[in-house]
Structure 1
Protein backbone atom coordinates (compact mmCIF):
# COMPACT_ATOMS: atom_id res chain seq x y z
CA UNK A 1 0.00 0.00 0.00
CA UNK A 2 1.26 3.48 -0.78
CA UNK A 3 1.82 5.91 2.08
CA UNK A 4 -1.33 7.97 2.72
CA UNK A 5 -0.92 11.18 4.69
CA UNK A 6 -2.52 14.57 5.17
CA UNK A 7 -1.15 18.07 5.26
CA UNK A 8 -2.80 21.46 5.49
CA UNK A 9 -4.12 22.47 2.09
CA UNK A 10 -1.61 24.79 0.40
CA UNK A 11 -1.89 26.85 -2.77
CA UNK A 12 0.18 24.31 -4.72
CA UNK A 13 -2.34 21.58 -3.77
CA UNK A 14 -5.50 23.39 -4.83
CA UNK A 15 -5.68 22.36 -8.51
CA UNK A 16 -5.23 18.67 -7.73
CA UNK A 17 -7.54 18.78 -4.69
CA UNK A 18 -10.28 20.50 -6.70
CA UNK A 19 -9.91 17.97 -9.53
CA UNK A 20 -10.09 15.09 -7.06
CA UNK A 21 -13.20 16.56 -5.41
CA UNK A 22 -14.93 16.87 -8.79
CA UNK A 23 -13.91 13.35 -9.87
CA UNK A 24 -14.72 11.69 -6.54
CA UNK A 25 -17.38 8.98 -6.57
CA UNK A 26 -18.42 10.11 -3.12
CA UNK A 27 -21.93 11.44 -2.84
CA UNK A 28 -20.95 13.60 0.13
CA UNK A 29 -22.95 16.65 -0.82
CA UNK A 30 -20.77 19.10 1.06
CA UNK A 31 -17.84 18.11 -1.18
CA UNK A 32 -19.62 19.16 -4.37
CA UNK A 33 -18.32 22.37 -5.92
CA UNK A 34 -19.57 23.91 -9.13
CA UNK A 35 -16.38 25.80 -9.89
CA UNK A 36 -12.91 26.60 -8.66
CA UNK A 37 -13.80 29.99 -7.11
CA UNK A 38 -16.49 28.29 -4.97
CA UNK A 39 -13.98 25.63 -3.91
CA UNK A 40 -11.38 28.26 -3.00
CA UNK A 41 -13.92 30.33 -1.06
CA UNK A 42 -15.05 27.25 0.86
CA UNK A 43 -11.50 26.17 1.79
CA UNK A 44 -10.72 29.68 3.02
CA UNK A 45 -13.67 29.89 5.43
CA UNK A 46 -12.41 30.26 9.02
CA UNK A 47 -14.45 27.26 10.25
CA UNK A 48 -13.02 24.90 7.60
CA UNK A 49 -9.85 22.92 8.30
CA UNK A 50 -8.92 21.62 4.84
CA UNK A 51 -6.19 19.04 4.27
CA UNK A 52 -4.74 17.67 1.08
CA UNK A 53 -4.77 13.87 0.95
CA UNK A 54 -1.47 12.62 -0.40
CA UNK A 55 -0.73 9.18 -1.77
CA UNK A 56 3.02 9.02 -1.50
CA UNK A 57 3.69 12.56 -2.78
CA UNK A 58 0.71 13.08 -5.11
CA UNK A 59 -2.45 14.91 -4.07
CA UNK A 60 -5.38 12.52 -4.51
CA UNK A 61 -8.11 14.30 -2.58
CA UNK A 62 -9.27 16.59 0.15
CA UNK A 63 -10.26 15.86 3.74
CA UNK A 64 -11.87 18.58 5.80
CA UNK A 65 -13.70 19.39 9.00
CA UNK A 66 -16.11 22.27 9.38
CA UNK A 67 -18.85 23.67 11.56
CA UNK A 68 -22.37 22.80 10.47
CA UNK A 69 -25.21 24.11 12.60
CA UNK A 70 -23.10 23.99 15.78
CA UNK A 71 -21.68 20.51 15.12
CA UNK A 72 -18.23 19.57 13.84
CA UNK A 73 -18.59 17.64 10.59
CA UNK A 74 -16.02 15.94 8.40
CA UNK A 75 -16.01 15.25 4.71
CA UNK A 76 -13.78 13.60 2.23
CA UNK A 77 -13.39 13.51 -1.55
CA UNK A 78 -10.85 11.15 -3.10
CA UNK A 79 -9.97 10.66 -6.74
CA UNK A 80 -11.20 7.36 -8.20
CA UNK A 81 -7.59 6.69 -9.28
CA UNK A 82 -6.38 6.62 -5.67
CA UNK A 83 -5.48 3.43 -3.85
CA UNK A 84 -8.54 1.55 -2.61
CA UNK A 85 -7.46 2.04 1.03
CA UNK A 86 -6.85 5.80 0.67
CA UNK A 87 -10.33 6.93 1.83
CA UNK A 88 -10.25 4.82 5.00
CA UNK A 89 -6.72 5.87 5.92
CA UNK A 90 -7.41 9.55 5.17
CA UNK A 91 -10.51 9.48 7.36
CA UNK A 92 -8.64 7.71 10.13
CA UNK A 93 -5.98 10.41 10.04
CA UNK A 94 -8.57 13.19 9.96
CA UNK A 95 -10.44 11.81 12.97
CA UNK A 96 -7.21 11.74 14.96
CA UNK A 97 -6.57 15.40 14.10
CA UNK A 98 -10.11 16.50 14.96
CA UNK A 99 -10.29 16.13 18.73
CA UNK A 100 -13.87 17.35 19.10
CA UNK A 101 -16.44 14.67 19.82
CA UNK A 102 -19.02 13.93 18.83
CA UNK A 103 -17.85 14.24 15.24
CA UNK A 104 -20.37 14.00 12.41
CA UNK A 105 -20.43 13.03 8.74
CA UNK A 106 -23.29 13.38 6.28
CA UNK A 107 -23.57 11.03 3.30
CA UNK A 108 -26.20 10.30 0.70
CA UNK A 109 -28.34 7.33 1.69
CA UNK A 110 -27.34 5.70 -1.62
CA UNK A 111 -23.58 6.09 -0.98
CA UNK A 112 -22.89 2.64 0.51
CA UNK A 113 -19.07 2.82 0.02
CA UNK A 114 -18.77 6.02 2.08
CA UNK A 115 -21.12 4.62 4.71
CA UNK A 116 -18.94 1.48 4.95
CA UNK A 117 -15.72 3.49 5.31
CA UNK A 118 -17.23 5.53 8.14
CA UNK A 119 -18.61 2.45 9.88
CA UNK A 120 -15.15 0.83 9.85
CA UNK A 121 -13.90 3.83 11.83
CA UNK A 122 -16.65 3.63 14.44
CA UNK A 123 -19.24 6.02 13.03
CA UNK A 124 -22.85 5.01 13.65
CA UNK A 125 -26.09 6.24 12.14
CA UNK A 126 -27.47 9.21 14.07
CA UNK A 127 -30.38 10.49 11.99
CA UNK A 128 -31.75 11.06 8.49
CA UNK A 129 -31.70 14.46 6.84
CA UNK A 130 -33.83 14.19 3.71
CA UNK A 131 -32.01 11.86 1.32
CA UNK A 132 -28.89 11.92 3.49
CA UNK A 133 -27.79 9.95 6.51
CA UNK A 134 -25.97 11.73 9.32
CA UNK A 135 -23.47 9.54 11.11
CA UNK A 136 -21.68 10.28 14.37
CA UNK A 137 -18.41 9.24 15.94
CA UNK A 138 -19.43 9.38 19.60
CA UNK A 139 -17.13 10.33 22.44
CA UNK A 140 -15.24 7.44 24.02
CA UNK A 141 -14.99 6.75 27.70
CA UNK A 142 -11.49 6.97 29.02
Structure 2
Protein backbone atom coordinates (compact mmCIF):
# COMPACT_ATOMS: atom_id res chain seq x y z
CA UNK A 1 0.00 0.00 0.00
CA UNK A 2 1.30 3.48 -0.78
CA UNK A 3 2.17 6.02 1.89
CA UNK A 4 -0.69 8.50 2.44
CA UNK A 5 -0.27 11.76 4.32
CA UNK A 6 -1.97 15.13 4.71
CA UNK A 7 -0.17 18.43 4.54
CA UNK A 8 -1.47 21.97 4.65
CA UNK A 9 -2.66 23.23 1.28
CA UNK A 10 -0.04 25.75 0.19
CA UNK A 11 0.11 27.96 -2.86
CA UNK A 12 2.58 25.56 -4.52
CA UNK A 13 0.01 22.71 -4.23
CA UNK A 14 -3.02 24.53 -5.62
CA UNK A 15 -2.67 23.49 -9.27
CA UNK A 16 -2.34 19.81 -8.41
CA UNK A 17 -5.05 20.03 -5.73
CA UNK A 18 -7.53 21.67 -8.10
CA UNK A 19 -6.79 19.05 -10.78
CA UNK A 20 -7.34 16.24 -8.26
CA UNK A 21 -10.62 17.74 -7.05
CA UNK A 22 -11.78 18.26 -10.63
CA UNK A 23 -10.99 14.63 -11.48
CA UNK A 24 -12.65 13.27 -8.35
CA UNK A 25 -15.89 11.36 -8.74
CA UNK A 26 -16.84 12.15 -5.15
CA UNK A 27 -20.06 14.06 -4.67
CA UNK A 28 -19.39 16.04 -1.51
CA UNK A 29 -21.42 19.22 -2.12
CA UNK A 30 -18.91 21.52 -0.43
CA UNK A 31 -16.08 20.15 -2.61
CA UNK A 32 -17.65 21.09 -5.95
CA UNK A 33 -15.85 23.93 -7.70
CA UNK A 34 -16.85 25.36 -11.06
CA UNK A 35 -13.42 26.84 -11.72
CA UNK A 36 -9.99 27.53 -10.28
CA UNK A 37 -11.00 30.98 -9.03
CA UNK A 38 -13.80 29.50 -6.92
CA UNK A 39 -11.44 26.84 -5.56
CA UNK A 40 -8.81 29.44 -4.64
CA UNK A 41 -11.39 31.62 -2.87
CA UNK A 42 -12.66 28.59 -0.93
CA UNK A 43 -9.11 27.54 0.06
CA UNK A 44 -8.32 31.06 1.27
CA UNK A 45 -11.44 31.28 3.47
CA UNK A 46 -10.54 31.50 7.18
CA UNK A 47 -13.32 29.00 7.99
CA UNK A 48 -11.61 26.29 5.91
CA UNK A 49 -8.69 24.15 7.10
CA UNK A 50 -7.63 22.60 3.80
CA UNK A 51 -5.01 19.91 3.34
CA UNK A 52 -3.71 18.10 0.30
CA UNK A 53 -3.86 14.33 0.23
CA UNK A 54 -0.39 13.13 -0.73
CA UNK A 55 0.23 9.61 -2.02
CA UNK A 56 3.89 8.63 -2.26
CA UNK A 57 4.85 12.28 -2.76
CA UNK A 58 2.15 13.21 -5.31
CA UNK A 59 -0.93 15.31 -4.59
CA UNK A 60 -4.02 13.17 -5.25
CA UNK A 61 -6.76 15.07 -3.46
CA UNK A 62 -8.01 17.52 -0.90
CA UNK A 63 -9.25 16.87 2.64
CA UNK A 64 -10.69 19.74 4.64
CA UNK A 65 -12.59 20.70 7.75
CA UNK A 66 -14.78 23.76 7.86
CA UNK A 67 -17.39 25.51 9.93
CA UNK A 68 -20.92 25.15 8.58
CA UNK A 69 -23.72 26.82 10.50
CA UNK A 70 -21.86 26.41 13.80
CA UNK A 71 -20.94 22.75 13.24
CA UNK A 72 -17.61 21.28 12.18
CA UNK A 73 -17.84 19.44 8.85
CA UNK A 74 -15.26 17.51 6.88
CA UNK A 75 -14.97 16.85 3.18
CA UNK A 76 -12.80 14.82 0.89
CA UNK A 77 -12.11 14.74 -2.84
CA UNK A 78 -9.60 12.23 -4.17
CA UNK A 79 -8.57 11.61 -7.77
CA UNK A 80 -9.64 8.25 -9.23
CA UNK A 81 -5.98 7.61 -10.05
CA UNK A 82 -5.21 7.29 -6.31
CA UNK A 83 -4.85 3.91 -4.63
CA UNK A 84 -8.18 2.40 -3.54
CA UNK A 85 -7.36 2.81 0.17
CA UNK A 86 -6.29 6.46 -0.16
CA UNK A 87 -9.73 7.96 0.66
CA UNK A 88 -10.11 5.89 3.83
CA UNK A 89 -6.54 6.64 4.95
CA UNK A 90 -6.93 10.36 4.25
CA UNK A 91 -10.26 10.57 6.04
CA UNK A 92 -8.80 8.73 9.03
CA UNK A 93 -5.92 11.20 9.18
CA UNK A 94 -8.30 14.15 8.90
CA UNK A 95 -10.64 12.96 11.66
CA UNK A 96 -7.62 12.37 13.92
CA UNK A 97 -6.63 16.03 13.40
CA UNK A 98 -10.13 17.28 14.18
CA UNK A 99 -10.73 17.10 17.93
CA UNK A 100 -14.24 18.58 17.81
CA UNK A 101 -17.12 16.14 18.10
CA UNK A 102 -19.63 15.66 16.80
CA UNK A 103 -18.04 15.94 13.38
CA UNK A 104 -20.25 16.01 10.30
CA UNK A 105 -19.99 15.06 6.64
CA UNK A 106 -22.44 15.61 3.80
CA UNK A 107 -22.38 13.54 0.59
CA UNK A 108 -24.66 12.96 -2.35
CA UNK A 109 -27.10 10.11 -1.77
CA UNK A 110 -25.83 8.31 -4.88
CA UNK A 111 -22.11 8.50 -3.99
CA UNK A 112 -21.80 4.91 -2.73
CA UNK A 113 -17.98 4.90 -2.43
CA UNK A 114 -18.07 7.91 -0.06
CA UNK A 115 -20.78 6.29 2.06
CA UNK A 116 -18.58 3.22 2.44
CA UNK A 117 -15.52 5.29 3.37
CA UNK A 118 -17.46 7.21 6.03
CA UNK A 119 -18.86 3.99 7.51
CA UNK A 120 -15.36 2.46 7.76
CA UNK A 121 -14.23 5.47 9.82
CA UNK A 122 -17.23 5.24 12.18
CA UNK A 123 -19.59 7.86 10.77
CA UNK A 124 -23.31 7.06 11.00
CA UNK A 125 -26.20 8.51 9.04
CA UNK A 126 -27.64 11.52 10.82
CA UNK A 127 -30.31 12.65 8.36
CA UNK A 128 -31.11 13.82 4.86
CA UNK A 129 -30.77 17.24 3.29
CA UNK A 130 -32.49 17.08 -0.08
CA UNK A 131 -30.41 14.77 -2.30
CA UNK A 132 -27.61 14.63 0.26
CA UNK A 133 -27.01 12.37 3.24
CA UNK A 134 -25.63 13.97 6.40
CA UNK A 135 -23.32 11.79 8.50
CA UNK A 136 -22.02 12.32 11.99
CA UNK A 137 -19.02 11.00 13.89
CA UNK A 138 -20.41 11.17 17.41
CA UNK A 139 -18.40 11.89 20.55
CA UNK A 140 -16.86 8.87 22.23
CA UNK A 141 -16.69 8.18 25.93
CA UNK A 142 -13.16 8.42 27.23
Confirm or deny a common fold (TM above 0.5): yes
CA distance in 2, matches of 1:40, 1:99: 26
Give the root-mean-square deviation of aligned CA atoms: 0.5
Q: How far 1:14 sits from its partner (Å)?
A: 0.4
Partner of 1:107: 107
Partner of 1:69: 69
Q: Output one character per residue of 1:49-83: Cα deviation in whole Å (capped at 9) or x when no partner.
A: 00010001000000000011111000000000000
Q: Does 1:53 align with 2:58?
A: no
Partner of 1:18: 18
Q: Output one character per residue of 1:69-126: Cα deviation in whole Å (capped at 9) or x when no partner.
A: 1110000000000000000000000000011000000001111110000000000000
Partner of 1:97: 97
TM-score (norm 1): 0.99
Q: Output one character per residue of 1:11-39: Cα deviation in whole Å (capped at 9) or x when no partner.
A: 11100100111110101111110111110
CA distance in 1, matches of 2:62, 2:38: 15
1:3-14 matched pairs, under 5 angstroms? 3-14=3-14
Partner of 1:135: 135
CA distance in 2, matches of 1:59, 1:140: 32
CA distance in 2, matches of 1:17, 1:34: 14
Gaps of 5+ in 2: none
Partner of 1:86: 86
